[in-house]
Structure 1
Amino acid sequence: MSASPASRPVRTRFAPSPTGYLHIGGARTALFSWAFARRHGGTFILRIEDTDVARSTPEAVQAIIDGMNWLGLEEDEGPYYQMRRMDRYKEVIRQMLAAGTAYHCYTSPEELDRLREEQRARGEKPRYDGRWRPESGKTLPAPPAGVQPVVRFRNPPDGAVAWDDLVKGRIEISNAELDDFIIARADGTPTYNFCVVVDDWDMRISHVIRGDDHVNNTPRQINVLRALGAEVPLYAHLSMILGDDGTKLSKRHGAVSVMQYHEDGYLPEAVVNYLARLGWSHGDDEIFSREQFVEWFDLDHITPSAAQFNTEKLNWLNAQYIKKADDAYLAAEMANRLAHRGVNPETGPELEAVAALYKDRAASLNELADAAELFCADVHPAPEVIAQHLTDAAKAALASLRTRFEQAAWDKAALTQAIKDTMAEHGLKMPQVAIPLRVAVLGVPQTPAIDAVLEVLGRERVLARLARHL
């Protein structure tokens, strides 16, 4: 079912409302829509649904675009903005009024409230009762003076609207369950469900891939499309994403801006790989490139049940990508993060060497930047760390070691020999020299292999940092 119809080129769209940031759920929808278009040589469209004027902001639009760019989900067309298409929507509404598929309704909000209260009192589902719907043999009252009407869609009275959802399977809704919904407000502005239909029609969307919170909108949109004589897209409604604890995803689980993941030190490749596995799978494959994902991606293997967000799994995946990442790429990211903290990366050794030293033990770019900061900034060990490790005996050994470092060749073999000679001179074991040495030069008792740390830090920095504690 997920293959494109032979007669229709694949055209997908991601259509966020700019009332907030791009979060994980939206990013997954965008990724699946993008990947499906790429898989079938189709077109991926970005559409900004900004008709909620009170809540839509330019900052939110930019946040969405920034998130898409960071994830590498480039659109082929757009971004289109609904607010710039108002004339088109109003033109279609005029055509529908003329064709009789829409009509003016003069029911006031107060009348609607009373109607709903009466229906609830009778145990009925609250709904518009069609009192202004033109019917054969029905006499409508004269429009009340001074009342601006809304425009309602004339929903089919009989039968059902059905579609074969590419994720959820066959879905069928009786038209008797659907009332004549408003497609234009009293001030003339079109409503969300109507704008979406005209956009999907005009943009020739072949596949609508979106969250299952839109399932209830789909029968209404299909009926409007049919009333317009438009070809109906295929629909794929993605299940919701749950947090680690099985409840609805919230900010404490990770439902934060996609750009927060950038700030927290995740690689976009890792986030894309993780999102790809949220509700879709390809056998037991866990780690795969964006290109491999596009080659494999289909709608048949999307699970209709809710996906569960797992922060531990994302962190593990990020660590795998950091291990495989190019040292120059990691160094550039580290430099940016250091500069953001007010630390000049130029004051330390080559960051590529630091990246190579720490990439196997870091779960995020921020952890790499933490390590790099020890190489670039003045380090001040905590008083309790100094008291524990920089004892008089340790300082005596470090003083001897410093003298040896002044003469030694600056490579790991020579540095290791200098440490061993100092151990022999003072009758100490490796940890009794290496741990105080780590504290003196990097401010912490645990680092990668001490000879590698010293080699990267460089003779001048090591001697200067030792001198500070002696």
Structure 2
Amino acid sequence: MTTTRFAPSPTGYIHIGNLRTALMNYLIAQKTGGTFILRIDDTDPERSKEEYVDGIKEDLTWLGLHWDRIERQSERLDRYHEAADKLRAMGRFYEAFETPTELDLKRKKQLNMGKPPVYDRAALGLSEEQKDALRAERGAGVWRFKLDQERIEWQDGILGDISIDAASVSDPVLIRGDGQVLYTLASVVDDMEMGVTHIVRGSDHVTNTATQIQIIEALGGKPPAFAHHSLLTGPQGEALSKRLGVLALRDLRERGVQPMALLSLMARLGSSDPVELQTEMATLIDGFDLGRFGSAPTKFDVEDLFPLTARYNATLPLAAVQDRIDALGVPPEMAAQFWEVTRENITTLDDLDGWWKMMREGAEPQIDPEDADFVKEALALLPEGPFDGETWGAWTAAVKEATGRKGRALFMPLRKALTGQAHGPDMSALMPLLQVVKARGQ
């Protein structure tokens, strides 16, 4: 059975890059009837916050990405230390004591010599007495995994054949000097013990994947199928910062973006398939194909979400927005007509407020100077309210008869005078909802 996971760190809220990873893993699991695990990477006690754990759950629930089970790495520390002991016994785990400054000097020296800036394994030459002395002087060291310096190869689900020379990679630090288990080790142990079969993540993890494959094999496991999606850029190809608030899912939600609009975009962005609005998760799942994605950096423009949101909102039945309409104060007998008139003339549901305010209080008329006399004459012919579905047709016919205007020259000035806008709903349907017409001074 296919098992995938999404493993966010609760050090902040989910951003658009996180979502891409979560969604791909979710869709793979759903398409195969498998298991999707939400795994909270909270091994850093200083930066991990419970409010972010709650925020992650809230955002995924809003999107409809439901996990089959949840795990917390902070509750599995004993499993990671057992794995570390196993690696030590195999001679694949060693303690190193260099300070950040010393490591930086080593890297600069290697670069100056035209060599790759990888850790030189100097710690392997330390005697037990030297290690004891360094511990006494500096405290506990970091623990590094000793890579087999050979080529690491795998068939990537997106990038194709990957081959990395382990000799060009530093032995990864798996446990910090303060004892904190780092993600590279915790993830390997979890993936093995939780039966994870497929992992999709960003292409910035390719080197990390190579080292994890060796760690998995050293611990007697079989590496899962890996795939690395392209990284997102801004609309002009600029780097995206995950710290930009506009890209946090909760900020998009606050701006009225609909979950299916967001998911429809992210499920196709960077693939050879066109972006198409889907209104049901099942359709999104059926149409997902990891093999259609490419490796090139993928441009993301937050503004693309709003036309999709508008189209999604237009498909909603009255029942889906009844609470929003009731909260505006729209009389129950007008709710159905109000939604029918506005549904294709809003971008987000927040725009309903503006429409109802215009209907309830009247719009500031927009009257071009050359139309001022015409509008004044036309408004004198407007019957007293309340209006009905026949009012617009009868009124414009009377205005045409009196002024001789027709077509756009007739209709546009009248629309702008009554609604303050050049575009909008069919006026015959809108007129019964207008309770005040400011242009008449009512």
**TM-score (ref. length: structure 1):** 0.80
C-alpha contact (below 8 Å) 1:208/1:236 kept by paired residues: yes
1:125-140 paired onto structure 2 within 5 Å: 125-133=116-124
C-alpha contact (below 8 Å) 1:11/1:45 kept by paired residues: yes
Q: What is the alpha-carbon distance in structure 2 between the residues aligned to residue 466 and residue 277 of structure 1?
A: 47
Verify: 1:360 aligned to 2:344, yes or no.
yes
State the secondary structure of the residue aligned to 2:155.
strand
Verify: 1:73 aligned to 2:56, yes or no.
no
1:170-185 paired onto structure 2 within 5 Å: 170-185=161-176
Verify: 1:345 aligned to 2:317, yes or no.
no
Rate the CA distance shift 1:116–1:303 in 2: closer, same or farther, 3 A.
Answer: closer
* Structure-2 residue corresponding to 1:159: 150
Q: What is the alpha-carbon distance in structure 2 between the residues aligned to residue 439 and residue 119 of structure 1?
A: 71
**What displacement does 1:44 show?**
0.6
**What displacement does 1:285 show?**
7.1
Give RMSD over aligned pairs: 3.5
Rate the CA distance shift 1:391–1:127 in 2: closer, same or farther, 3 A.
Answer: closer
Of 361-370 and 189-198, deviating more is 361-370
1:152-301 paired onto structure 2 within 5 Å: 152-250=143-241, 256-282=247-273, 286-288=276-278, 289-301=280-292
**AA in 1 matched with 2:189:** V
C-alpha contact (below 8 Å) 1:281/1:301 kept by paired residues: yes
**What displacement does 1:227 show?**
1.3
C-alpha contact (below 8 Å) 1:151/1:182 kept by paired residues: yes
Q: What is the alpha-carbon distance in structure 2 between the residues aligned to residue 308 and residue 178 of structure 1?
A: 30
Rate the CA distance shift 1:121–1:391 in 2: closer, same or farther, 3 A.
Answer: closer
State the secondary structure of the residue aligned to 1:360.
coil
Of 286-295 and 235-244, deviating more is 286-295
**AA in 2 matched with 1:362:** I
**What displacement does 1:72 show?**
1.0
**AA in 1 matched with 2:379:** L
C-alpha contact (below 8 Å) 1:349/1:456 kept by paired residues: no
Of 447-456 and 266-275, deviating more is 447-456
Verify: 1:61 aligned to 2:50, yes or no.
no
Please, which of 26, 33, 40 is the counterpart of residue 34 of structure 1? 26
**What displacement does 1:331 show?**
4.6
Q: Deviations over 1:17-75 (max 9, x none)?
A: 23333222221211111010001110011122233444443343333322212211111
**AA in 2 matched with 1:143:** D
**What displacement does 1:201 show?**
1.8
Q: What is the alpha-carbon distance in structure 1 between the residues aligned to residue 294 and residue 101 of structure 2?
A: 44
Provide the aligned length of Structure 1 versus Structure 2. 438
Rate the CA distance shift 1:466–1:300 in 2: closer, same or farther, 3 A.
Answer: closer
* Structure-2 residue corresponding to 1:469: 441
Q: Deviations over 1:198-255 (max 9, x none)?
A: 2212221111101111112111111111111122111000011222222333589996
Rate the CA distance shift 1:176–1:433 in 2: closer, same or farther, 3 A.
Answer: closer
Task: Tell me the percent identity.
Answer: 32
**What displacement does 1:388 show?**
5.2
C-alpha contact (below 8 Å) 1:119/1:126 kept by paired residues: yes
Q: What is the alpha-carbon distance in structure 1 between the residues aligned to residue 428 and residue 145 of structure 2?
A: 79
Please, which of 382, 387, 397 is the counterpart of residue 401 of structure 1? 382
Rate the CA distance shift 1:100–1:365 in 2: closer, same or farther, 3 A.
Answer: same
Please, which of 10, 15, 33 is the counterpart of residue 23 of structure 1? 15
Verify: 1:374 aligned to 2:363, yes or no.
no
Q: What is the alpha-carbon distance in structure 1 between the residues aligned to residue 21 and residue 99 of structure 2?
A: 38
* Structure 2 unaligned residues grouped into runs of 5+: none
Rate the CA distance shift 1:104–1:418 in 2: closer, same or farther, 3 A.
Answer: closer
Q: What is the alpha-carbon distance in structure 2 between the residues aligned to residue 122 and residue 206 of structure 1?
A: 42
**TM-score (ref. length: structure 2):** 0.85
* Structure 1 unaligned residues grouped into runs of 5+: 1-8
Verify: 1:48 aligned to 2:68, yes or no.
no
Q: What is the alpha-carbon distance in structure 1 between the residues aligned to residue 49 and residue 429 of structure 2?
A: 51
**What displacement does 1:142 show?**
5.3
Verify: 1:119 aligned to 2:119, yes or no.
no
Rate the CA distance shift 1:292–1:436 in 2: closer, same or farther, 3 A.
Answer: closer
1:317-356 paired onto structure 2 within 5 Å: 317-333=308-324, 344-346=328-330, 350-356=334-340
C-alpha contact (below 8 Å) 1:381/1:439 kept by paired residues: no
* Structure-2 residue corresponding to 1:3: none
Q: Deviations over 1:157-213 (max 9, x none)?
A: 442221111111111122222333221112211122112212212221111101111
